[in-house]
Chains A and B, each alone.
Chain A
């Protein structure tokens, strides 16, 4: 029997209480326990960024975080951002610039771009490229993704 632990945290603005396997990662908890499948499983080792979420205001790879470590923290996933009007401009820019091909990297890209824009409201191209270096797009549509993020005005 695997060891379980009760945790309580804020998920997309709502308090949640969940019993999780102590060895489970946050990505598995989000997808398999809570049922939020917007966060994607790509590589499982922090190389691809498809599982990017925000915890206490910072972006991180949910596959590299123990689920128990969510206890007491503020977690935002792509589903949370979808309901946040501050992210509308970012979503619209992705659509307008055709920055979505197969779409698998998109939730992670958006979560990371949102974090980047929070720190740098007017990033230039170089800053965006550095900011998303932990996110892979295997359709290799980086140009349009970078253009979309640069186009967002977070004034």
Chain B
């Protein structure tokens, strides 16, 4: 049976963070509820189209999905269960802001069927959190984490960031260690380098010269620390910014990088189904009026486009790309299409082959992971024989 991942977008938050360029904004209860109803309508309306798929993962992201009342989350999940074939072992993740939940809410969420939490911490230092415009403190995080564990969550991810205003190698190391030393430790950590996204307050302050970021060499050092320190605690890097213990990767996200089918609900939500990409419009009011009528930018990917995506997404995984899988997917040998590019970057020490049980894999080297864009750009626009 074909599989499908489902993403629900919740475009609400308490307050927009200074670095955030996601589709999200604060909203009143009434708007929130209308949105939940619209989501249900969209899920319902699309159900028949996807009856032949088994849903392997569900991810509720945002925004801050945890601003919604837990009962609404339960209703959304119930709707999904009633109208889609959700696999028994499905991974059902929800993003949670530590400043928005208490133990009652977490218990309700667990009961509703959420089996994986992604907690947005970013830093263990309150000054750094403040500089980012986060609404919570480290103490609040600790409480939320404890409450999540008590509520029964065993699969927890913690989001961290490096390269923050005011961050030092010492403060970052402490953040990493405090999180890795939590009892029980989270099975998964995402650690991102701060990106100044155009149009965010942080980017504007930086451009105006009123925001100081760590100098390049420090930023670089911070980035290198992540892998080294997390390894001490048994976290294995499996993607550019993602680390997991005991192979507990985020199945939903891995699906994005291996080009599984995924279906997004809600405003701005993107989908890829059978090599067609499409996305819902970003206007909240439009969506509330007509949740089914928002699909746009329908793009059927050509074979060459599928290949370039396969490469630039697949190479994000440290495991890399299986030559056998590439052949089975496209009926061309990887070497036949990309021989020259691979040779060039292998020569520079950025790409390498490794033989595993499942055959030969092409992957970025440690140095290559740091220069991923430089390498990936060359995999675009392949010439087919």
Query: Is B truly associated with A?
Result: no
Residues of B within 8 A of A (CB): none
Residues of A within 8 A of B (CB): none
